[in-house]
C-alpha cells in the first residue's frame, strides 16, 4: 500500500461521517449564478503612493480595475482574439464594471493598500469584446472529471486525494463557478484513491481513467498538475484522457511568486479555459442571453434519475434551458435558465411534484419524496 493510500485510510470513520458535507462544500462552496462568477475577478492587490491618501486610493482603484480587466479577458477570450483587443483606458474599463468591493484596506498620508474584487457587467463586456472582432469563449457540453495533482516543489511527491492538497479544491471551485463545462466531482473515497492514485493519474493509466469515467458517467478526465516553484511562481501541466489536449493549451507558467493562492488561482483559470476551448462547443444559447439564471441543487439516485428531473424541468413554462454545472453520484448542481416571474416558476415546479426550498443564493429542488440535500456548511 503506497503512502497516499495509507494517509487516506487513516481516520476512515471520520471521513465516512463527513464525506457528504465535505464534498458538498468542495463542490458548491458558495453557490452563485454561474455567469456572475464568470465575470468576477477577485484577489487584485493594489499598492499606490501619491501626494495624498485620497489621490492614492483613487489611483489604486483605477489601476486595480484595469488589472482585473486584463485577468478577465485572459480567461474569457482566446490568445488570437486577445491580440485584437487594445488595452482600454481606465475610464473605459470603469464603464464595464458593475460593482467593486474592497478588503484588507490600509492607508497612510501618502499610500493606499488593498485587495479588490471587481464585478464586471456581462452584457457590457460581451458587447465590448464582440464590437472589436473578438468572441467570448462559450464553453463545452462535455462532462469532465478534473484531477488536481499538486507538487509543493519540482522534486516533491505528487498529491491528489490528500487533504493537504491546496490545488484540487481551487481548481474544482473555479471550474464550477465559471460554468464553462459540466464537472463531475469524484468523492475522493477509498475506491478513488485505490483505483487512481496520483502516479496513475499523471501517467493517464487507461484502467484507472476508465474506472473513473465509468463510476462518474463523465466524457473525459483532465489531469491538471500544478508545480510550485519557490520564488518563481507555479507551473501548470495539463493532460486529457481519452483524447489528448492540443499542445498549445497544455502548459502555463504563472509569474505570481509571493502569493501561492493567487498563483494557483491564475493556473486554475487557465486550466478551465483550456478545457473549455478543447471540448465540444456548447449548443444552443449564446454566452449572454435574454433570460434570468438560478442555481439549483437536486438530490438524485444516479444519472437516470437526473435525466428524468432534467426532462421535467425543461418542459415547464418559461424555462429556457437547464445547464449541468457539477455532479456527484447523489447530488447535482445546475443552472436553471428562465424568463418571467421566479414565484411563478417555483409554483410550476411544485405542480409537477417537486419540493422547492429557497436557500441563500440557490434553490433546493427535491424530486418526489427524495431525502433533502445535505446542508451547505
| 67-118 pLDDT per residue, tens | 999 988 877 787 678 777 888 999 999 999 998 999 889 999 999 999 998 9
- Please indicate whether residue 282 or residue 179 has the higher confidence score (pLDDT): 179
Task: Express each pLDDT in 361-373 by its tens digit.
Answer: 789 999 975 434 4
- The mean of the pLDDT values for the chain is 82
pLDDT surpasses 70 at 11: no
Q: pTM of the prediction?
A: 0.65
**pLDDT of amino acid 5:** 46
Whole-angstrom Cα distance, residue 269 to residue 247? 18
The percentage of residues in the chain with a pLDDT greater than 70, rounded to a whole number, is 83
Identical fold for domains 3-31+143-278 and 292-367, yes or no, is no
**pLDDT of amino acid 284:** 45
**pLDDT of amino acid 279:** 79
pLDDT surpasses 60 at 289: no
Using pLDDT thresholds of 50, 70 and 90, give the confidence band for residue 14: very low
Which of helix, strand or coil describes residue 188? coil
**pLDDT of amino acid 16:** 31
**pLDDT of amino acid 294:** 85
Using pLDDT thresholds of 50, 70 and 90, give the confidence band for residue 7: very low
Using pLDDT thresholds of 50, 70 and 90, give the confidence band for residue 60: very high
**Which three three-digit cell numbers place residue 272?**
478551465
Phi, psi of 86, deg, nearest 5: -65, 150
Asked if residues 110 and 71 have their Cβ atoms less than 8 Å apart, the reply is no
Using pLDDT thresholds of 50, 70 and 90, give the confidence band for residue 350: very high
pLDDT surpasses 60 at 336: yes
Task: Express each pLDDT in 314-331 by its tens digit.
Answer: 999 988 888 888 888 889
- Please indicate whether residue 374 or residue 67 has the higher confidence score (pLDDT): 67
Asked if residues 44 and 68 have their Cβ atoms less than 8 Å apart, the reply is yes
The percentage of residues in the chain with a pLDDT greater than 90, rounded to a whole number, is 43
- Fold topology of 3-31+143-278: Rossmann fold (3.40.50)
pLDDT surpasses 90 at 292: no
pLDDT surpasses 70 at 285: no
pLDDT surpasses 70 at 52: yes
Q: What is the CATH number of domain 37-70+87-125?
A: 3.30.1660
Query: Once rounded to an integer, what is the mean pLDDT over residues 224-247?
Result: 90
- Range scoring the smallest mean pLDDT among 34-38, 129-133, 179-183: 34-38
Query: Once rounded to an integer, what is the mean pLDDT over residues 226-233?
Result: 85
- Tell me whether the omega of the peptide bond preceding residue 242 falls within 30 degrees of 0, making it cis: yes
Query: Once rounded to an integer, what is the mean pLDDT over residues 264-288?
Result: 72
Domain boundaries, the chain: 3-31+143-278, 37-70+87-125, 292-367
Nearest alpha-carbon partner for 222 in 270, 264, 272, 266: 272
CA distances from 264 to 40, 170, 255, 259 (A): 17, 7, 11, 9
pLDDT surpasses 90 at 222: yes
Q: What is the CATH number of domain 292-367?
A: 3.30.70.100
Strand order in the sheet with 97-107: 40-49, 111-120, 97-107
CA distances from 78 to 75, 224, 275 (A): 8, 19, 12
**Which three three-digit cell numbers place residue 67?**
488589472
**pLDDT of amino acid 246:** 85
Amino acid at each position: 500500500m503506497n503512502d497516499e493510500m495509507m494517509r487516506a485510510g487513516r481516520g476512515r470513520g471520520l471521513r465516512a461521517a463527513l464525506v457528504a458535507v465535505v464534498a458538498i462544500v468542495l463542490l458548491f462552496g458558495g453557490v452563485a449564478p454561474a455567469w456572475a462568477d464568470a465575470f468576477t475577478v477577485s484577489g487584485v492587490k493594489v499598492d499606490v503612493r501619491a501626494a495624498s491618501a485620497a489621490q492614492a486610493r483613487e489611483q489604486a482603484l483605477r489601476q486595480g480595475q484595469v488589472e482585473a480587466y486584463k485577468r478577465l479577458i485572459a480567461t474569457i477570450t482566446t490568445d488570437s482574439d486577445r491580440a485584437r483587443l487594445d488595452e482600454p483606458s481606465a475610464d473605459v474599463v470603469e464603464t464595464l464594471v458593475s460593482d467593486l468591493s474592497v478588503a484588507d484596506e490600509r492607508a497612510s498620508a501618502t499610500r493606499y493598500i488593498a485587495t479588490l474584487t471587481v464585478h464586471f457587467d456581462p452584457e457590457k463586456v460581451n458587447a465590448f469584446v464582440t464590437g472589436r472582432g473578438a468572441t467570448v469563449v462559450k464553453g463545452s457540453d462535455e462532462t469532465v472529471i478534473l484531477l488536481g495533482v499538486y507538487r509543493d516543489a519540482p522534486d516533491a511527491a505528487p498529491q491528489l486525494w490528500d487533504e493537504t492538497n491546496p490545488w484540487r479544491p481551487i481548481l474544482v471551485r473555479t471550474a464550477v463557478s465559471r460554468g464553462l463545462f459540466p464537472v463531475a466531482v469524484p468523492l475522493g473515497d477509498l475506491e478513488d484513491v485505490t483505483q487512481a492514485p496520483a502516479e496513475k493519474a499523471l501517467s493517464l493509466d487507461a484502467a484507472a481513467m476508465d474506472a473513473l469515467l465509468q463510476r462518474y458517467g463523465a466524457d473525459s478526465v483532465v489531469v491538471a498538475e500544478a508545480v510550485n516553484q519557490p520564488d518563481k511562481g507555479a507551473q501548470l501541466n495539463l493532460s486529457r484522457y481519452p483524447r489528448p489536449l492540443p499542445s498549445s493549451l497544455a502548459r502555463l507558467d504563472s509569474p505570481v511568486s509571493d502569493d501561492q493562492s493567487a498563483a494557483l488561482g491564475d493556473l486554475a483559470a487557465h486550466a478551465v479555459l483550456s478545457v473549455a476551448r478543447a471540448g465540444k462547443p456548447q449548443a444552443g444559447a449564446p454566452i449572454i442571453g435574454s433570460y434570468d439564471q438560478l442555481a439549483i441543487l437536486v438530490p438524485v439516485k444516479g444519472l437516470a434519475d437526473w435525466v428524468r428531473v432534467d426532462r421535467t424541468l425543461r418542459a415547464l413554462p418559461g424555462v429556457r434551458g437547464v445547464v449541468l454545472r457539477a455532479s456527484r453520484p447523489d447530488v447535482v448542481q445546475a443552472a436553471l435558465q428562465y424568463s418571467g416571474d421566479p414565484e411563478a416558476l417555483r409554483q410550476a415546479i411544485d405542480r409537477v411534484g417537486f419540493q422547492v426550498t429557497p436557500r441563500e443564493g440557490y434553490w433546493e429542488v427535491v424530486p418526489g419524496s427524495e431525502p433533502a440535500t445535505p446542508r451547505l456548511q
